[in-house]
Amino acid sequence: METKKDRLVRGTALEGRVRAFAVRTTELVDELRRRHDTYPVATAALGRTVTAAAMMGAMLKGEEELAIAVKGNGPVGRINAEANASGEVRGYVQNPHVHLPSNSLGKLDVAGAVGTEGFIDVIKDLGLKEPYRGSIPIVSGELGEDFTYYFAVSEQTPAAVGLGVLVEPDNSVRVAGGFIIQLLPGLTDSEITEIEHALGTLPSVTALLDQGLEPEDMLRQLLPDAVMMDELEIAFSCSCSREKVEQTLVSLGQQEMERLIEEDEQTEVVCHYCNETYIFNRDELQVILNQAKS
Contact set with Zn ion (CB under 5 A): 238, 240, 271, 273-274
Q: How far is the CB of 140 from Zn ion (least distance, A)?
A: 31
User: Around 159, how many Cα atoms within 13 Å sit in the side-chain half-sphere?
Assistant: 29
Q: How far is the CB of 276 from Zn ion (least distance, A)?
A: 5
For the CA atoms of 261, 265, 271, 272, the dihedral, rounded to the nearest 10 degrees, stands at -100
How far apart are alpha carbons 164 and 60 in whole angstroms?
22
188 vs 241 by CB, closer to Zn ion? 241
222 vs 245 by CB, closer to Zn ion? 245
Report helix, strand and coil shares of the chain as percent, to nearest 5: 35, 30, 35
Q: How far is the CB of 178 from Zn ion (least distance, A)?
A: 24
Q: How far is the CB of 76 from Zn ion (least distance, A)?
A: 20
81 vs 110 by CB, closer to Zn ion? 81
Positive/negative CA dihedral, 247, 270, 237, 58: negative
179 vs 236 by CB, closer to Zn ion? 236
- In the structure, how many helices (H) and strands (E) does the chain have? 10, 13
102 vs 241 by CB, closer to Zn ion? 241
176 vs 271 by CB, closer to Zn ion? 271
Residue 120: beta bridge partners?
Answer: 70, 136
Our CA angle for 47, 53, 55, nearest 5°, is 105
Q: How far is the CB of 89 from Zn ion (least distance, A)?
A: 12
Q: How far is the CB of 274 from Zn ion (least distance, A)?
A: 3
Positive/negative CA dihedral, 151, 157, 159, 161: negative
Positive/negative CA dihedral, 14, 18, 19, 24: negative
